């Protein structure tokens, strides 16, 4: 090929199309999308597209951490974002579980013990002494650290993995039908509290609503002015100025 910096599948396309050129600042969205589309089109006609994707999307483990062999760029006709999403879904298949010392935090253990007794998200949070959002976040961290699939792991599988790692006493686990997810699906976002007081969503505790939105803020009252002997009123003080401009003579605008 006479142009080594050009793609074999399209000599009008620079090799930078697969990774983006080195520039100062971010690449405009339209330019990036056009560049990526042109690169993928060349990939589709490449005879080694499948092998290229298999290599770049393969998983390597370093110091217990799993990552893609080629985390950046377009490989095998797939964008980096697409390959990362696929990697996240199957990372648990090749990654090793986190050390027990990393999982054994006081709050995480309280959530785990609460989850062993309760299946409902609110009940777990109450038993652990945290709010629901914190409890769900800790449950998500447990799923990741115990090397379970985030999308399909159940409460039963999470508790079984915790018992196996010595994080939980199996005798306190209350079983279920095996269909309870390890991490409950996110609840609909709480609606903003109304300014008139209270909230539109009863799930939002009153304490979480700023006082200014609950209508409980004491507005500073108007202080009474103490009248001193001989003090002129506002009207009396303004009268000499008003008399300078009779109402029947309109003022001329200043030049």
**In this structure, are 105 and 161 located in the same domain?**
yes
Residue 35 in domain: yes
Residue 44 in domain: yes
Task: Report pLDDT for 151.
Answer: 78
Residue 120 phi/psi, 5° resolution?
-75, 140
Matching residue, tokens 């799923």: 143
The enclosing domain of 161 has a CATH number of: 1.10.10
Task: Report pLDDT for 194.
Answer: 41
Task: Report pLDDT for 178.
Answer: 86
Task: Report pLDDT for 77.
Answer: 92
**In this structure, are 107 and 89 located in the same domain?**
no
**In this structure, are 167 and 141 located in the same domain?**
yes
Task: Report pLDDT for 145.
Answer: 83
Task: Report pLDDT for 232.
Answer: 55
Residue 221 in domain: no
Last residue of a domain, one of 33, 59, 93: 93
Task: Report pLDDT for 236.
Answer: 58
Task: Report pLDDT for 254.
Answer: 43
Last residue of a domain, one of 129, 150, 172: 172
Burial of 106 (0-12, 13-18, 19+ CB in 10 A): exposed
**In this structure, are 126 and 165 located in the same domain?**
yes
**In this structure, are 26 and 85 located in the same domain?**
yes
Task: Report pLDDT for 252.
Answer: 47
Q: Are strands 65-68 and 59-62 parallel, antiparallel or unpaired?
A: antiparallel
Burial of 7 (0-12, 13-18, 19+ CB in 10 A): buried
**In this structure, are 19 and 79 located in the same domain?**
yes
CB-based contact 172:116 (threshold 8 Å): yes
Residue 225 in domain: no
Last residue of a domain, one of 93, 123, 146: 93
151 CB contacts (<8 Å, ≥6 apart)? 89
DSSP E strands, the chain: 59-62, 65-68
Name residues of the chain where pLDDT drops below 50.
1, 189-223, 225, 234, 242, 245, 247-255
Total domains in the chain come to: 2
Q: What range defines the domain where residue 35 resides? A: 15-93
Phi-psi domain of 63 (left: phi exceeds 0; alpha: psi -120 through 50; beta: other):
left
Residue 10 in domain: no
Task: Report pLDDT for 6.
Answer: 78
**In this structure, are 20 and 85 located in the same domain?**
yes
- Does an H or E element contain 44, and which? helix 29-44
């Amino acid at each position: 090929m006479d142009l080594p910096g050009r793609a074999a599948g399209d000599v009008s396309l620079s090799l930078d199309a697969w990774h983006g050129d080195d520039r100062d600042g971010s690449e405009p969205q339209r330019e990036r999308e056009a560049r990526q589309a042109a690169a993928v089109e060349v990939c589709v006609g490449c005879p080694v597209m499948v092998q290229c994707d298999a290599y770049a999307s393969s998983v390597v483990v370093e110091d217990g951490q799993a990552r893609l062999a080629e985390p950046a760029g377009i490989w095998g006709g797939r964008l980096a974002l697409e390959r990362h999403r696929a990697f996240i879904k199957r990372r648990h298949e090749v990654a090793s579980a986190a050390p027990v010392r990393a999982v054994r935090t006081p709050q995480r253990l309280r959530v785990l013990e609460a989850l062993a007794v309760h299946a409902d998200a609110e009940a777990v949070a109450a038993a652990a002494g945290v709010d629901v959002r914190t409890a769900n976040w800790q449950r998500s961290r447990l799923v990741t650290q115990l090397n379970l699939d985030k999308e399909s792991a159940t409460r039963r599988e999470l508790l079984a993995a915790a018992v196996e790692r010595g994080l939980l006493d199996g005798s306190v686990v209350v079983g279920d039908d095996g269909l309870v997810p390890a991490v409950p699906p996110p609840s609909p976002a709480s609606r903003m509290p109304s300014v008139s007081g209270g909230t539109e969503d009863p799930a939002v505790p009153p304490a979480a609503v700023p006082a200014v939105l609950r209508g409980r803020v004491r507005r500073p009252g108007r202080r009474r002015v103490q009248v001193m002997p001989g003090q002129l009123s506002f009207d009396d003080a303004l009268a000499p100025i008003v008399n300078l401009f009779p109402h029947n003579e309109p003022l001329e605008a200043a030049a």
